[in-house]
A and B are shown apart, each in its own frame.
Chain A
């Protein structure tokens, strides 16, 4: 029964670049349909860890992973696992909005098409845009270039194209850091809406954002060998109100970093 509540589990997950260990021994259980935030000072390996979750680090030469990353009891780094399938199940939204240089419609339809979507494309596009709270703004200009949208709209379009392929988990790598406060707020509202259907893991350097928006928080820190590790992982309330680690307390109260 216990496993069913967890979308993803890591067992001693470490990430290495050649002989350098960037992230050390992470043990996390990420609960389903909740928002889990990863916080920590810059350079502590937050993004590296997040990218390990859907094997985006495969593209970095010399990068490899030890330990286990379990989704539905399967180790995503197992020999029989196909990274393309992994990324189809675990979508990602990036720091800077990166819509494809195509029309708004095609931005969403493309991922669906390559993944063998069989239903009515128009409906899928509309549903995804509605789910990303973008439909009303773009319904009259679906054939226009995605580059014509504002930064905040582009980021919601990226979220829309991610949910169009129906992943289990959505990873968000500082999704609002390039956006203005109002767009940021809309993204945060959207996340609350999305967690009804998806598990969300978000990396953020914005403490208020983590406190406001997440259910669980993982605190990362680098050691003297510059290897990052999760020093504390708990309810967001606990992390921000009664952290058990002194370093977490220093960080969340702003005495550090």
Chain B
């Protein structure tokens, strides 16, 4: 049926790679968007590092004073970062003390016990809790929790105190711990639970002694992220924990965390190149590095955990 080859309208195909200029431009733009995040990190390190370096280059600021003393007032030559770190430690510790057991227990209930219907009611509640802006938690800490604490402890507790801020921070972090832990628990294969049940274990024995240990690394990642969140949290402590560095581990006292200090000082009149200004960047750099390390560890743990069950 074919016409003879001579009569065919012969067409040449050109399959050579064509250079499509618009495709290339678009791809270049997308690549730029992709690596912008790298520049963000570099910018954080560079800008924070540059100013922090100015601070540490002041002859009066020595590493010994920075890490070895406990009074922080750069304006008058006191550079003891522990005055701020102590408050960060206390508030974060209280927050973890609250959020870890509560979040973990909620996660176990949601993952192992709750019916789908129960879960569909309870999870949105936790999501709402997670979505409330931290400044609102600050209001709650100062104007609800503190008065309650005061009614129990009277004058033993100061109006601004680390306990109230820490407690509310714990409530703020609870949904995070709960949802990450629940993911970890749900990722434990069903066959492990069945293996335990088949040996005559109760639901509790299975949940606590088999599922929980199996999910431990995922829960560990949740804890680390929780700590990182607590260390970086600003508004609750800025509102409720107090303003003024105070080297103290007594949660009933007022003290200022690293974040709270940055917020208060930068919120006031701050002239560039002053020691107050550069010292804030030194603190911010510390915060960045600490949370960066915590986040990296957590990601590493999560990836290890995934490999285990894949």
* CA A84 to CA B205, docked complex, whole Å: 11
Which of chain B's residues have a CB closer than 8 A to the CB of A100?
192, 195-196, 210, 214
Return B223 CB to nearest CB of chain A, in Å: 19
Whole-angstrom CA separation of A118 from B155 in the bound complex: 55
The reply to whether B197 and A91 form a contact with Cβ atoms under 8 Å apart is no
Q: Tell whether, in the assembled complex, residue B196 and residue A91 are in contact, meaning their CB atoms are under 8 Å apart.
A: no
Answer yes or no: A34 CB below 8 A from chain B CBs: no
Contacts of B199 in A (CB 8 A): 87-88, 91, 110-111, 114-115, 161-162, 165
A158:B197 contact, CB within 8 angstroms: no
Q: Are B192 and A87 in contact (CB under 8 A)?
A: no
CB–CB A98/B192 < 8 A? yes
- Nearest chain A CB to B215's CB is how many angstroms away? 10
> Is B68 in the interface zone, CB < 8 Å from A?
no
Which residue on chain A has the smallest CB distance to residue B189? A98
CB neighbours of A98 from chain B (8 A): 189, 191-192, 194-195
Shortest beta-carbon distance, B112 to chain A, in Å? 11
> Chain B contacts of A111 at CB under 8 A?
199-201
Let me know if B200 and A85 touch, CB within 8 A: yes
- The answer to whether B195 touches A158, judged by C-beta atoms less than 8 angstroms apart, is yes
Least CB distance from A162 to B in Å reads 7
> CB-CB < 8 A to B192: which residues of A?
98, 100-101
Q: Residues 130-172 of chain B: 1 if any A CB is under 8 Å from the residue's CB, otherwise 0?
A: 0000000000000000000000000000000000000000000
Quick one: given A100-B210, A101-B213, A110-B209, are A91 and B191 in contact (CB under 8 Å)?
A: no
Interface flags for B182-219 (1: CB within 8 Å of A; 0: not) read 00000001011111111111100100011001100000
Q: Size of chain B's interface in residues, with CB distance under 8 A?
A: 19
Set of chain A residues within 8 Å of B213, measured between Cβ atoms: 101-102
Q: Which residues of the other chain, A, contact B202 by a CB distance below 8 angstroms?
A: 84, 114
Q: How many residues of A are counted as interface, with CB atoms below 8 angstroms from the partner's CB atoms?
A: 25
Report how far A87 CA is from B197 CA in the complex, Å: 7
Q: B214 touching A94 by the CB < 8 A rule?
A: no
Q: How far is the CA of A87 from the CA of B196 in the complex (A)?
A: 10
Smallest CB–CB gap between A236 and chain B, Å? 26
Q: Decide if B195 touches A94 in the complex (CB within 8 Å).
A: yes
Q: What is the minimal beta-carbon distance from A29 to any residue of chain B, in angstroms? A: 23
- Residues on A with C-beta less than 8 A from B193 are 59
User: Are A84 and B201 within 8 A (Cβ)?
Assistant: yes
Question: Which residues of A from 72 to 112 have beta carbons under 8 Å from B?
Answer: 84-85, 87-89, 91-92, 94, 96, 98-102, 110-111
- Residue A56 at the chain B interface, CB threshold 8 Å: yes
The docked-state distance in angstroms from the alpha carbon of A111 to that of B198 is 10
Q: How far does the alpha carbon of A59 sit from the alpha carbon of B195 in the complex, in Å?
A: 13
Least CB separation from A99: chain B residue: B195
The smallest C-beta distance from A62 to any residue of chain B, in angstroms, reads 12
**Residues of A with C-beta under 8 A to B198:** 54, 56, 87, 91-92, 94, 162
The complex places the Cα of A94 from the Cα of B196 at a distance, in Å, of 11
Contact B200 A165 (CB under 8 A): yes
Check B197 against A114 for contact (C-beta < 8 Å).
no
The answer on a CB contact under 8 Å between A114 and B194 is no
Q: Which residue of A lies closest to B197 (CB)?
A: A87
Interface residues of B in 238-255 (CB under 8 A from A): none
Report the Cα distance A101→B191, complex, angstroms. 12
Q: Compute how far the CA of A147 lies from the CA of B214 in the bound complex, rounded to whole angstroms.
A: 12
CA distance A49 to B197 in the complex (A): 17
A114–B189 touching, CB < 8 Å: no
Separation in Å of the A176 CB from the closest CB of chain B?
16
**CA A56 to CA B193, docked complex, whole Å:** 11
**Which of A54, A87, A94 lies in contact with B191, CB distance below 8 A?**
A94
With most chain A CB atoms within 10 A of its CB, the pick from B192, B194, B195, B202 is B195
Which residue on chain A has the smallest CB distance to residue B206? A114
Whole-angstrom distance between the alpha carbons of A248 and B210 in the complex?
A: 42
Contact between chains at A87 and B194 (CB < 8 Å) = no
Chain A residues within an 8 Å CB radius of B205: 114
Query: What separation, in Å, do the CA atoms of A191 and B206 have in the docked complex?
Result: 27
Contacts of A99 in B (CB 8 A): 195
| Cross-interface CB contact of B194 among A56, A88, A165, cutoff 8 Å | A56
- Chain A contacts to B: CB under 8 angstroms: 54, 56, 59, 84-85, 87-89, 91-92, 94, 96, 98-102, 110-111, 114-115, 158, 161-162, 165
- Kindly list 6 other residue pairs between chains A and B, CB separation below 8 angstroms, not including A94-B198, A111-B201: A84-B202, A99-B195, A101-B192, A111-B199, A114-B200, A161-B199
Top 6 A-B pairs, shortest CB-CB distance: A88-B200, A111-B199, A92-B198, A98-B191, A98-B195, A87-B200
29 examples of A-B residue contacts, CB within 8 angstroms: A54-B198, A56-B198, A59-B197, A84-B201, A87-B199, A88-B199, A88-B200, A89-B200, A91-B199, A92-B198, A94-B198, A98-B189, A98-B192, A98-B195, A100-B195, A100-B196, A100-B210, A100-B214, A101-B213, A101-B214, A110-B199, A110-B209, A111-B199, A114-B201, A114-B209, A158-B195, A161-B199, A165-B199, A165-B200
